[in-house]
Amino acid sequence: MHHPAGSGIHHRITDLREQIEYHNHRYHVLDDPEIPDQDYDQMLRELERLELEHPEYARSSSPANRIGAYPSRGFSTVTHATPMKSLGNAFNRQEIQDFNRRVRELIHSDHPVEYIAEPKFDGLAVSLRYEKGWLVQAATRGDGTQGENITQNMRAVLKDMTLLQNDSVPDELEVRGEVIMLRQDFNDLNEAQKRSGQKPFANPRNAAAGSLRQLDPSITASRPLRMFCYALGEVSRDRKFKTHGESLEWLQSVGLPVSDQIETVQGFEGCLEYYEKMLANRDDCPFEMDGVVYKVARLDWQAQLGFTAKAPRWAIAYKFPAQEATTQVEAIDIQVGRTGAITPVARLVPVFVGGVTVSNATLHNRSEIQRLDIRVGDFVIVRRAGDVIPEVVSVIKSKRPANTAAYAFPGKCPVCGSKIVYQGEEVIARCSGGLYCHAQKVRSIIHFASRKAMDIEGLGEKIVEQMVTEGLVDSIADLYRLDANTLSRLDGKAEKSANNLVDAIDKSRKTTLARFIFALGIPQVGETTADVLADAFADLDHLMNASEERLIAVPDVGPIVSRDITAFFDQTHNREVIRDLLELGIEFPGKEPVFEMPQWSESAEPGSPFLNKTVVLTGTLSIPRDRAKSMLKQAGARVTSSVSKRTDYVIAGEQAGTKADKAKSMGVPLLDEDRFFHMLGHRE
Ligand code: IVH
């Protein structure tokens, strides 16, 4: 950016300092940051650069020279025995390479340097002081020199680790680490906050900070906080340890919590490998990481390298791509899904976040809009974590433009004008138009034709939209009444592609019962449930006439799903469409029902570890999912889609997400792919 000389720069510097102070206060004192860390870092970097380039404007009081914020009122102040410094940040390989080169130059090493690679926990730093094994003081980092005295609160977090009973514990011990909240605990806490009408926390870090910095320690005690230790303080840097790794092992041996994701790596290459691995596992990790940290393993080298004013020269953080970014709301739209579910969506000025460009974010439902008070024109923080749909985390109220209006949630479907009705606890809004609603019609036809349903190639969103608008197709059955002649009337449909589409539709007539059930788009009936239903009933008529009780007896089908299924088949309209489809030549080979059979596969080898086990597959496996499923069925397992108390195993492939988390939290055994194949007795 070009800045005019002189007062323009001074102005910018003052402006940056003011903004940074404001955000420091929100982050460190109020535990309620308003902007993503990334935006803050950018401002700080700009200020640092300007002060370097224009030393005449540099001030010792500038936030560029300070770590964090001054301690807030309410807690007494603690002066750290040794300052709690920050870490330098790297955002790309080059910066890691530069770091590694500097380290090698300073210690005159011709060999790859050994590093201890650790997760960068996204929580808040604390320093613990033990005397004769007793926790005597705990403090937040504060400004690095002085922090807040949170001893009582940390006692509540550390519980039996308040007293270390190990002969090797020195009289004076200082330990540093991070207090965090596990993702699952954070979600549960937020649910509870919402239920009791309290403000939910924006992310696990805020929840951890907000919970730890309570003046009433009993509140802290009621919150699910954890600590991971990552360093010894100066006091206890005993000569008996040669490496940082040894000191971590010792911490663990006296009963303090150390992450099991810490590894020893060799040189730049080892650093990169660790980064890639941790980044790939980011969404599976039970706690949030905002990067990884490398520390020179040898303590004598650490001493030799020393510190700059702000950070050690022997360590660096390699940050992950930010999962949050700021952007502006251009519009708030309503989407109508296949089953009429109404989802408000924020249309955004495109922004790069979590590795992709995001221009839409879900606003979930009406009460979420009310909670956020989001308005067109607002600046918002969007979050895109893993492959989860991007969402709006919060509105930056201090940046709200003048003359915005609160968003009024519509009472009528914006597509068909039917009344919007509410289900459940008034959270889920639905268009009551059913298949009268253009949007629902289009969505249900697209679903019907999709790859895992009837698999009609070439029947995409655009052409379905055209067909319905032009009146060529009014229900899924109409697809089988189309001819190439009629189709070629559509805009841009050449004769050849019209013929191809008719062929593809024709080909889809031969299908399986499972695909057909899935294709019908019964609410809550996904691919796996459709499979289970097809297996259990083997006959469409039996399924259509099944009672709720009978349906509930099917594995993977609960009372809610069974009600949706019976409600679907109770509608005359749906029965008519099914009758039409069968008359138009849809057919599936008959099968013997397996429902109510005592064993799931008679052919399963005796002694198969999967015999009669309920198994859930998640993540990406090296073989197709369907293949894994049939192997499991062969081995006598039933494969279901959701993790519950009744699940025996969860098989987690690469990038397994919430299901793996859920399994962990419920204590359901997780199998990785190797283990799975091993148990199957296959070695593929
Ligand atoms: S070591 C002198 N190790 O990152 C070095 N810090 O940006 C002190 N953090 O204040 C820090 N995980 O809150 C270290 N494995 C880790 C860490 C870690 C998270 C935090 C810590 C620190 C901040 C620096």
Ligand 1 nearest-atom number relative to CA 290: 19
Ligand 1 nearest-atom number relative to CA 231: 1
Does residue 296 share a domain with residue 259? yes
Report d(CA 574, CA 395) in Å as an integer.
Answer: 43
φ, ψ for residue 617, nearest 5 deg: -100, 135
- On the question of pLDDT at 570 being above 80, the answer is yes
Per residue, the 3-state secondary structure of 254-301, as one string, reads CCCCCCCCCEEEEHHHHHHHHHHHHHHHCCCCCCCEEEEEEEECEHHH
From the CB of 178, is ligand 1 less than 6 Å away? yes
From the CB of 317, is ligand 1 less than 6 Å away? yes
- On the question of pLDDT at 24 being above 90, the answer is no
pLDDT of residue 683: 36
**Exposure string over 386-407, b if 16+ CB within 10 A, otherwise e:** eeeebbbbbbbeeeeeeeeeeb
Provide the 3-class DSSP secondary structure of residue 21. helix
pLDDT band per the 50, 70, 90 thresholds, residue 599 = very low
pLDDT of residue 586: 95
From the CB of 208, is ligand 1 less than 6 Å away? no
**Contact assessment for residue 664 and residue 616, using Cβ atoms and an 8 Å cutoff:** no
Does residue 226 share a domain with residue 198? yes
Ligand 1 nearest-atom number relative to CA 120: 12
CATH code where residue 338 lies: 2.40.50.140
pLDDT of residue 68: 55
From the CB of 209, is ligand 1 less than 6 Å away? no
Does residue 544 share a domain with residue 448? yes
Residue 47's nearest CA partner among 14, 8, 25, 4 is 14
Residue 282's nearest CA partner among 355, 336, 224 is 355
* Centre of ligand 1 from the C-alpha of residue 559, in Å: 48
Q: How many domains does the chain have?
A: 5
From the CB of 141, is ligand 1 less than 6 Å away? yes
φ, ψ for residue 63, nearest 5 deg: -60, -15
Pocket test for ligand 1, best of 28, 262, 292, 293 (most atoms within 8 A of CB): 293
pLDDT of residue 237: 54
Q: What DSSP state is assigned to residue 654?
A: B
* Centre of ligand 1 from the C-alpha of residue 118, in Å: 10
Does residue 93 share a domain with residue 18? no
From the CB of 24, is ligand 1 less than 6 Å away? no
Task: Calculate mean pLDDT across residues 459-483.
Answer: 92
Structural domain includes residue 597: no
* Centre of ligand 1 from the C-alpha of residue 484, in Å: 66
Ligand 1 nearest-atom number relative to CA 122: 19
Does residue 477 share a domain with residue 391? no
pLDDT of residue 620: 83
pLDDT of residue 69: 54
CATH code where residue 671 lies: 3.40.50.10190
Report d(CA 671, CA 684) in Å as an integer.
Answer: 16
From the CB of 354, is ligand 1 less than 6 Å away? no
Question: Which tokens hold the place of 536?
Answer: 């259990």
Domain endpoint, select from 561, 583, 605: 583
Report d(CA 631, CA 628) in Å as an integer.
Answer: 5
Q: What DSSP state is assigned to residue 453?
A: T
Report d(CA 659, CA 664) in Å as an integer.
Answer: 9
Q: How far is CA 39 from CA 19, 34, 123, 554, in A?
A: 11, 10, 18, 51
Residue whose token pair is 């459709």: 530
Does residue 485 share a domain with residue 447? yes
Per residue, the 3-state secondary structure of 487-510, as one string, reads HCCCCCCCHHHHHHHHHHHHHCCE
Structural domain includes residue 153: yes
* Centre of ligand 1 from the C-alpha of residue 533, in Å: 51
Pocket test for ligand 1, best of 40, 121, 122, 285 (most atoms within 8 A of CB): 121
Q: Which residues are catalytic?
A: 120
Does residue 361 share a domain with residue 272? no
DSSP 103-148: HHHHHT-SSPPEEEEEEEESSEEEEEEEETTEEEEEEE-TTSSEEE
Report d(CA 644, CA 556) in Å as an integer.
Answer: 9
Helices and strands per DSSP (H, E), number in the chain = 24, 22
Name the residue at shortest CA distance from atom 12 of ligand 1.
Answer: 120
* Centre of ligand 1 from the C-alpha of residue 324, in Å: 20
The terminus-to-terminus CA distance of the chain in angstroms comes to 56
Q: Point out which residues pair with 412 in neighbouring strands.
A: 419
**Predicted confidence (pLDDT) per residue in 25-77, tens digit:** 888 777 788 888 888 888 988 998 998 888 888 887 888 877 555 555 578 89
Report d(CA 451, CA 453) in Å as an integer.
Answer: 5
- On the question of pLDDT at 606 being above 70, the answer is no
pLDDT of residue 202: 80
Residue 438's nearest CA partner among 395, 406, 474, 462 is 474
Name the residue at shortest CA distance from atom 3 of ligand 1.
Answer: 230
Provide the 3-class DSSP secondary structure of residue 659. helix
**Predicted confidence (pLDDT) per residue in 71-128, tens digit:** 555 788 999 888 899 999 999 999 999 999 999 999 999 899 999 999 999 999 999 9
Alpha carbons within 13 angstroms on the beta-carbon side of residue 447 total 21
From the CB of 231, is ligand 1 less than 6 Å away? yes
Residue whose token pair is 């449930």: 529
Does residue 655 share a domain with residue 555? no
Domain limits at 483?
Answer: 438-583
Name the residue at shortest CA distance from atom 13 of ligand 1.
Answer: 125
From the CB of 290, is ligand 1 less than 6 Å away? no
Report d(CA 608, CA 676) in Å as an integer.
Answer: 12
Helix (H) or strand (E) segment spanning residue 79? strand 77-79
Domain endpoint, select from 374, 399, 424: 399
Q: What percent of the chain has pLDDT over 90?
A: 55
**What is the sign, positive or negative, of the torsion defined by CA atoms of 356, 358, 364, 370?**
positive
Q: How far is CA 21 from CA 67, 206, 514, in A?
A: 12, 18, 60
- On the question of pLDDT at 1 being above 50, the answer is no
Provide the 3-class DSSP secondary structure of residue 593. coil
Domain endpoint, select from 297, 319, 341: 319
Structural domain includes residue 179: yes
pLDDT band per the 50, 70, 90 thresholds, residue 642 = confident
CATH code where residue 23 lies: 1.10.287.610
Does residue 506 share a domain with residue 489? yes
Ligand 1 nearest-atom number relative to CA 123: 13
From the CB of 312, is ligand 1 less than 6 Å away? yes
Structural domain includes residue 607: no
Question: Which tokens hold the place of 9?
Answer: 């720069």
Pocket test for ligand 1, best of 87, 285, 287 (most atoms within 8 A of CB): 87
* Centre of ligand 1 from the C-alpha of residue 429, in Å: 44
* Centre of ligand 1 from the C-alpha of residue 126, in Å: 10
Ligand 1 nearest-atom number relative to CA 125: 13
From the CB of 86, is ligand 1 less than 6 Å away? yes
**Exposure string over 303-328, b if 16+ CB within 10 A, otherwise e:** eebeeeebbbbbbbbbbbbbbbbbbb
**Contact assessment for residue 254 and residue 164, using Cβ atoms and an 8 Å cutoff:** yes
From the CB of 230, is ligand 1 less than 6 Å away? yes
* Chain mean pLDDT for the chain: 88
Ligand 1 nearest-atom number relative to CA 119: 15
From the CB of 262, is ligand 1 less than 6 Å away? no
Report d(CA 166, CA 256) in Å as an integer.
Answer: 11
pLDDT of residue 679: 82
**Predicted confidence (pLDDT) per residue in 250-297, tens digit:** 999 999 999 999 999 999 999 999 999 999 998 889 999 999 999 999
- On the question of pLDDT at 299 being above 80, the answer is yes
Structural domain includes residue 79: no
φ, ψ for residue 568, nearest 5 deg: -65, -50
- On the question of pLDDT at 239 being above 60, the answer is no
Minimum mean pLDDT range among 353-362, 368-377, 655-664? 655-664
From the CB of 442, is ligand 1 less than 6 Å away? no
* Centre of ligand 1 from the C-alpha of residue 124, in Å: 9
Ligand 1 nearest-atom number relative to CA 317: 7
From the CB of 344, is ligand 1 less than 6 Å away? no
From the CB of 175, is ligand 1 less than 6 Å away? no
* Centre of ligand 1 from the C-alpha of residue 120, in Å: 7
**Contact assessment for residue 661 and residue 628, using Cβ atoms and an 8 Å cutoff:** no
Name the residue at shortest CA distance from atom 17 of ligand 1.
Answer: 120
Residue 653's nearest CA partner among 631, 670, 634 is 670
From the CB of 293, is ligand 1 less than 6 Å away? yes
pLDDT band per the 50, 70, 90 thresholds, residue 591 = low
Dmax over CA atoms of the chain, in Å, equals 90
Report d(CA 234, CA 359) in Å as an integer.
Answer: 48
* Centre of ligand 1 from the C-alpha of residue 87, in Å: 6
Structural domain includes residue 596: no
Structural domain includes residue 418: no
CATH code where residue 260 lies: 3.30.470.30
* Centre of ligand 1 from the C-alpha of residue 67, in Å: 12
pLDDT of residue 304: 95
Q: Point out which residues pair with 316 in neighbouring strands.
A: 294
Residue 281's nearest CA partner among 634, 666, 679, 620 is 620
Does residue 263 share a domain with residue 198? yes
Does residue 370 share a domain with residue 289? no
Structural domain includes residue 83: no
Does residue 300 share a domain with residue 245? yes
* Centre of ligand 1 from the C-alpha of residue 258, in Å: 13
Question: Which tokens hold the place of 106?
Answer: 């300073």
**Predicted confidence (pLDDT) per residue in 318-351, tens digit:** 999 888 999 999 999 999 999 899 999 999 999 9
From the CB of 85, is ligand 1 less than 6 Å away? yes
Name the residue at shortest CA distance from atom 6 of ligand 1.
Answer: 120
Question: Which tokens hold the place of 268?
Answer: 């730049």
Region of 256 on the Ramachandran plot (φ > 0 left; ψ -120 to 50 alpha; else beta): beta
* Centre of ligand 1 from the C-alpha of residue 253, in Å: 21
